[in-house]
Amino acid sequence: MGDSEECPAGCAGRRNEEADVRRFLLMLTVLALSISVVGLVGAAQTTQPATPNVIIYQCQYAVKVVQGVSEDGVTLGWGLFFTCVNIHNPWSCKYVRFRVKLAIAGEHGDPGPISDWRYPRQPLPPDRATEYDGADFNAMPPLPSYSFIDGYFIIQSEDELDVVGVYTGSGLNDPKAQLATMHLERVPAQRIEICVTPGI
């Protein structure tokens, strides 16, 4: 008789304990899921670039430029010098974005002036080519127009390109005289680190 009277209370106690255990397990499950979600979000944020709209230029080419009239006979011999930079996109399925600037060589170990970056209107299509010459070198703001340029034409691109410098020269007496010299120089790519700053 006493056992039958105590059974409902004992059963209710066991049910309360089971409910507490279930609530505790549910809380552990929710906590574990929350930690997993936070970890996934953090991983996704670390894999995304801080500024996704900024182009990462990782290849650089420094093409020697000798352009214009040399009359001093000190830096170079007397003559007319011409530089043409040929750029080819070797990729069969990829458009390549790049930018260019001109660095003028200073004298006696001092740094010379440098232009702002210049951006082509569109990426270079697959297997297409373009070129830059004296007219382009003299249109690189904020640099003035030079009668003689001795420096580097710098190209930074997302992916590797084919870059060739073409150098020709002739005498001063007649600009239309027979070509005196010609040289081709393939420029290798350098892998560089770029500071990711919006607007550069």
Looking at the 3D structure of the chain, how many domains does it have? 2
Average pLDDT over the chain, rounded to an integer: 80
Q: Look at residue 51 and tell me whether its pLDDT is greater than 50.
A: no
pLDDT of residue 143: 94
Q: Look at residue 67 and tell me whether its pLDDT is greater than 60.
A: yes
pLDDT of residue 173: 67
d(CA 154, CA 62): 5
Q: What are phi and psi of 135, to 5 degrees?
A: -65, -40
d(CA 151, CA 155): 13
β-bridge pairing 59-70 and 181-186: unpaired
Same domain, yes or no: 78 and 166: yes
199 — pLDDT class (breaks 50, 70, 90): very low
Is 196 within the bounds of a domain?
no
Q: Look at residue 50 and tell me whether its pLDDT is greater than 60.
A: no
Structural tokens at position 91: 């990729």
Same domain, yes or no: 41 and 64: no
Torsion angle in degrees (nearest 10) through CA of 86, 90, 95, 99: -30
Element (H, E) at 70: strand 59-70
Same domain, yes or no: 179 and 125: yes
Query: What's this model's pTM, rounded to 2 decimal places?
Result: 0.67
Same domain, yes or no: 65 and 38: no
129 — pLDDT class (breaks 50, 70, 90): very high
42 — pLDDT class (breaks 50, 70, 90): low
d(CA 50, CA 137): 34
CB atoms within 10 A of CB 185: 13
pLDDT of residue 171: 79
Is 54 within the bounds of a domain?
no
Cα 40 to Cα 26, 50, 52, 66: the distances in Å are 21, 17, 19, 54
Is 81 within the bounds of a domain?
yes
pLDDT higher for 182 or 123?
123
d(CA 171, CA 178): 8
